[in-house]
Amino acid sequence: MRTRNLVLLGGTGFVGRHLIARLVAQGHRVRVLSRNAALKPEVRVLPNVQVDTVDVYDPSALAKAFEGVDAVINLVGILNEKGFGGEGFQRAHVRLTQNVIAACERAGVKRLLQMSALNAGRGESHYLRTRGEAEAAVKASSLDWTIYQPSVIFGPGDGLFGRFASLLNIAPVLPLARAGAKFAPVYVGDVVRAMSDTLLQPAAFRQMYELYGPQTLTLAEIVRYTARQMGLLRVVIPLPDGLARLQAMLMDFVPGKPFSTDNYLSLKIDSVGGIDGLYRLGIEKTPIDAVMPALLKQSGKQARLDAQRAERRA
């Protein structure tokens, strides 16, 4: 495979770190654009990776950063915003994607890989609505685009099992909104393989790939699985919809928004697929049991050690 010069936006996130490692291993050169490159030393240590500070909302700065590259990969996405009206989602998903498209066209870059989500454009949440608007902008462009629509993604450092593991460490009882919402969690390694395998494939141009795993689980099943693998006895209480909505409204005002009204609205649509993108790409799906038990067991062991140290200090 010939070395390619790639520009990646959103490269310091969960998927980005895994994708960069795979692309570098394949011999590509990756330039990661960040609003503050000095805060991203964990990415810079990889060979053939350059991290630069660029205002990604400045079309001219983006176009200059895209000069001479073979492909642009846009992984930028947020699950919550600082406010409540959807402006944060509009800025991160729609306006940034429009800037990326314009910069690609101005710099003469034809190839764009765009991260999206299952159910993009459906439902009431700002998250899904703006993901759909971003997809529409990409599809209307003249670029050789590929769009990836994953379900929730799991693996080392994820925000799914890892987030619940942190909550379960401190909460013997967990009231759970939308406990019956269904997911088909997909392994991060399968997601980044799908992206790297299609990077240079003309057959993938102007295609969309739904990426989901081999198992469908409810949110409650995911939480209980996490607790079980950590060796913790925890009680999960599914909340009636009215209380779930109230919980989300209250969490809107908690710093960091561990849960929000927009998350609640997203959960009203099951994150399961219809057209199997991994099958289309010939990628065998990785089951949850092949990855998470060892990670969660270690997390549970660390939690018990921390509790024992706290007791000794008390």
The string of pLDDT tens digits covering residues 78-136 is 999 988 899 999 999 999 999 999 999 999 999 999 999 999 999 999 999 999 999 99
Q: How many C-beta atoms lie closer than 10 Å to residue 51's C-beta?
A: 25
What would the pLDDT profile of 149-199 be if each residue is shown by its tens digit? Answer: 999 999 999 999 999 999 999 999 999 999 999 999 999 999 999 999 999
Q: What is the pLDDT of residue 306?
A: 63
Task: Give the residue from 33, 136, 31, 138 showing the smallest Cα distance to 76.
Answer: 33
> Could you give the C-alpha distances from 154 to 188, 226, 230, 266, in angstroms and in order?
6, 12, 16, 18
Task: Give the residue from 125, 195, 121 showing the smallest Cα distance to 153.
Answer: 195
Q: What is the pLDDT of residue 300?
A: 77
Side-chain half-sphere exposure of 285, counting CA atoms within 13 A: 22
> H or E segment at 53?
strand 49-53
| Dist. CA 196–CA 224, nearest whole Å | 33
Task: Give the residue from 114, 280, 92 showing the smallest Cα distance to 199.
Answer: 114
- Work out the percent of the chain whose per-residue pLDDT is above 90: 86
Return the domain boundaries, the chain: 5-155+186-211
Task: Give the residue from 78, 97, 65, 57 showing the smallest Cα distance to 14.
Answer: 78
Q: What is the pLDDT of residue 303?
A: 64
Tell me the pairing of strands 111-115 and 186-187: unpaired
Task: Give the residue from 91, 65, 67, 66 showing the smallest Cα distance to 78.
Answer: 91
Report yes or no on whether pTM surpasses 0.85.
yes
Q: What is the pLDDT of residue 119?
A: 97
| Dist. CA 206–CA 199, nearest whole Å | 12
Q: How many C-beta atoms lie closer than 10 Å to residue 218's C-beta?
A: 17
CB 153 within 8 A of CB 190: no
Q: What is the pLDDT of residue 83?
A: 85
**100's tokens:** 């990326």
| Dist. CA 265–CA 248, nearest whole Å | 9
What would the pLDDT profile of 29-45 be if each residue is shown by its tens digit? Answer: 999 998 765 555 666 66
Q: What is the pLDDT of residue 299?
A: 82
Q: What is the pLDDT of residue 43?
A: 67
**42's tokens:** 């964990």
Q: What is the pLDDT of residue 146?
A: 98
Higher local confidence (pLDDT), 309 or 74: 74
Q: What is the pLDDT of residue 40?
A: 57
Q: What is the pLDDT of residue 44?
A: 62
What would the pLDDT profile of 226-276 be if each residue is shown by its tens digit? Answer: 999 999 999 999 999 999 999 999 999 998 888 999 999 999 999 999 999
Mean pLDDT of 72-81: 97
Q: Tell me the average pLDDT of the chain.
A: 93
What would the pLDDT profile of 202-236 be if each residue is shown by its tens digit? Answer: 999 999 999 999 999 999 999 999 999 999 999 99
Local structure of residue 226 (DSSP, 8 states): H
| Dist. CA 23–CA 156, nearest whole Å | 18
CB 153 within 8 A of CB 189: no
Q: Could you tell me the fold of the domain covering 5-155+186-211?
A: Rossmann fold (3.40.50)
